Amino acid sequence: MNDRVYMDWNATAPLRPEVRSAMIAAMDAVGNPSSVHAEGRIARSIIERSREQVANLVGIERSEVIFTSGATEAATLASKGRKLACANIEHDCVFAHQYASIPVDQNGELLLEAVEGDLLAVQASNSETGVLQNNIRWAQRAWEQNAMVLVDAVQSAGKFGTNLGDLGADFLMLSAHKLGGPKGVGALCIKLGVEVEPTISGGGQEEGRRSGTENIIGIAGFGAAAEAAEKERKDGKWDALYDLRNYMERQIAEIAPEAVFYGKDAPRLTNTSCFGVHGWKGETQVMQMDLAGYAISAGSACSSGKVKASRVLQAMGFDDVTASSAIRVSLGPTNTKEEIDGFVSTWGKAYTKFRVKAA
């Protein structure tokens, strides 16, 4: 597997070495964090240190961070008992709670006139196309109509500045494994004074908002990942991917002039490229690239491994064939120009075969 090239960072980021170390160290904390003895206080200190690290990532107070099993649970916690309005481009974990639909244009940017419901969900960035939303603008529109705002910052946190207050959000969702942390742990950041109806009741952990003994090992890894990701962002590691991503798109366009790059005319995450050739199934491309040693995807990885027409592209107005022909390449700080050249060459050979077969 050492000769493989990983280009699916939006699905999950590789585990960071410092995260692994933090998790191994947390395994030696034998106490229950709810216990008052020394062992319990040690376990509690690990959680609170991690809470502070996550809070610093998004510029909030430590008390505003509630740990969950991931972004899916965070979305459920924020949405419970509320009428949620969102676009069909939202991630499945948010879309599952949709009460009212919001249209988008062909770039995947919201077209919001009125909020039908009491909670508006607006992703900071789309996981498939990388398109960024003007969260402040939509938050202002929601406030004018007495609605609250849930921001999905899963893809954006650690890639560009993400602040709960600056985004105008009442809730903000995070997931550790998108930051190079462990899978199975995330957070819902809740603005001070905002109440939620718990989805898991019991012992009253996490300020009574999410009961159950905390996942100390996962939370320790989450904290370490958040701290490392923020430093990486400030060092410009993700900004540097802008040129690399654009270089790849230029090469693809030269090989396949008819290729469409979705969301290209809108602000995007610097690492994300979603493109397709009409009629060439994304699923086929993913398998061909996988056999050649390149890990890419045909959209969001959070649908139980199912490959189907992209709901995001359908919401943007593209037909089923087009929506089934897209692939996503999402880069990370360790990807190189040589890897891009290898991928483009391999993709180009597969494209030539597709064209010959389709002729």
Please state which CATH number belongs to domain 17-234. Answer: 3.40.640.10
**Torsion angle in degrees (nearest 10) through CA of 294, 301, 309, 349:** 0
Pairing between β-strand 186-190 and β-strand 65-68 as defined by DSSP bridges: antiparallel
CA proximity to 306, closest of 324, 293, 320: 324
Residue 139's pLDDT band (cuts 50, 70, 90): confident
Q: What CATH fold (topology level) applies to the domain 5-13+237-358?
A: Aspartate Aminotransferase, domain 1 (3.90.1150)
Lowest-confidence range among 64-78, 101-115, 130-144, 195-209?
A: 130-144
Half-sphere exposure (Cβ direction) of 33: Cα atoms closer than 13 Å:
23
**What share of the chain has pLDDT > 90, as a percent?**
87
Q: Note the pTM of the prediction, 2 decimals.
A: 0.94
Q: Is 302 a catalytic residue?
A: yes
Q: Which of 86, 93, 274, 302 is catalytic?
A: 302
* Nearest CA-CA partner of 246 in 266, 276, 270: 270
| DSSP letter (8 states) at residue 69 | S
Q: How many residues does the chain have?
A: 359
Residues of the chain with CATH 3.40.640.10: 17-234
Cα dist. 248→140, 254, 272 in Å? 37, 10, 11
**Cα–Cα distance measured from residue 156 to residue 151, given in angstroms and rounded to the nearest whole number:** 10
Lowest mean pLDDT among 46-50, 111-115, 181-185, 335-339: 111-115
Q: What is the pLDDT of residue 304?
A: 40
Residue from 253, 249, 260, 251 nearest 322 by CA? 260
95: Cβ–Cβ under 8 A, 6 or more apart, which residues? 86, 88, 311
Whole-number average pLDDT of the chain: 94
pLDDT digits (tens, 9 = 90+) for 80-117: 999 999 999 999 999 999 999 999 999 999 998 889 99
In the chain, where does the domain assigned CATH 3.90.1150.10 lie? Answer: 5-13+237-358
Alpha-carbon distance values, 258 to 253, 329, 341 (Å): 7, 18, 20
Tens of pLDDT, residues 300-339: 655 445 557 899 999 999 999 999 999 999 999 999 999 9
